[in-house]
Amino acid sequence: MVSSPHEALHQICQKDTEGMIRSFRRLFHVPFPEPRSISVVYTDLTEIAPVERRVDSLLRVDTEEGAFLLVLESQGEKDDRKRGSWPYYLAYLHEKYRVEPVLIVMTQNRSTAKWAAQPIRFGLPDWASLVVRPLVLGPDNVPVIADEAEVARDVTLAVFSAIAHGKGRDAAAILEPLAAVLRTVNPDTAAVFAELVESGLVDAQAKKMWKELMMPVNYFFKNPVAVKLREEGRVEERIASVLRTLDRRHIDVPDEVRRRVRACTDPDILQIWVDRAYDVTDAAELFED
């Protein structure tokens, strides 16, 4: 279960990556290609050196124009160590996956957003050897969405809006139309978004208001039967992702490999196999220790 604003921001992107990309096109004016397939990638970037490096979320998006890695970082406050970590993340991921990485930083704080948007330059003053330019999502470039019809057109963007702007006297105008729309969509999706907004709100009064607005949906989210169904759905999605990736890479998949993948019920193991499916040259390599 999501338990902090930090988790809420990047979990939104995992739940509805296509909606997130639509939002990014609108907010950043970035001509991102239309996705064909999307998968969550294991996020540990640690090497043998005794320093742990882990991005918040890592999504692989395959398009007609090639594959991209969306490197999603939630940033609560300024942290100058990130100006060394972020270039490392991008270089490491490009070397490991041979896929173009895109750094996206998300924050609820205006000053943090301004800090994060500054290009990171390594090299000579007039000749940088490396330049990193994060795309930053924050209060200044997320619109205030307080109209029910507009919420219905882009629920993901409305969730970003609620987290970025849902505080103080304006909270009700933003939260009420979002709650009204979430009551009309798929209950499982609504439950996840409801929990994400509750976790992402930093204003205590706004959080209390949101709990009252979404009480029926939150009950469904915490219901043991619903939790079990979501876990089963996650397993099925990862099984399909493993086999689909191998098929698209024209890797021969023997029947015994398909049976072993389909028999697995551990989502963590399946996620490892999802990641390996992009690199293996033989389907049996999925299972190597």
Give 94-120 pLDDT, tens digit per residue: 988 888 999 988 887 889 999 999 999
Cα 239 to Cα 5: distance, rounded to the nearest angstrom: 30
Residue 33 has a pLDDT of: 80
Residue pointed to by tokens 């204003």 = 203
How far apart are alpha carbons 177 and 192 in whole angstroms?
Answer: 17
For residue 179, list its beta bridge partners: none
Find residue 68's DSSP bridge partners.
Answer: 61, 100
Model pLDDT, residue 111: 92
CA nearest 20: which of 97, 104, 82, 90? 104
User: Which pLDDT score, from 0 to 100, does residue 190 have?
Assistant: 80
Q: Tell me how far apart the alpha carbons of residues 135 and 236 are, in angstroms, rounded to a whole number.
A: 32
Q: Are 71 and 104 in contact (CB under 8 A)?
A: yes
Counting DSSP H helices and E strands in the chain, the numbers are 13, 7
The list of the chain residues with pLDDT below 70 reads 1-16, 37-54, 188, 199, 216-230, 289
**CA gap 211, 204 in Å, rounded:** 11
Long-range contacts of 81-87 (CB under 8 A, 24+ apart): 82/116, 83/120, 85/53, 86/120, 86/132, 86/134, 87/120, 87/122, 87/130, 87/132
pLDDT of 8: 54
Q: Which two tokens stand for residue 88?
A: 């490392």
Instruction: Tell the burial category of 48 from Cβ atoms under 10 Å away from its Cβ (0-12, 13-18, 19+).
Output: exposed
Q: Tell whether pTM > 0.75.
A: no
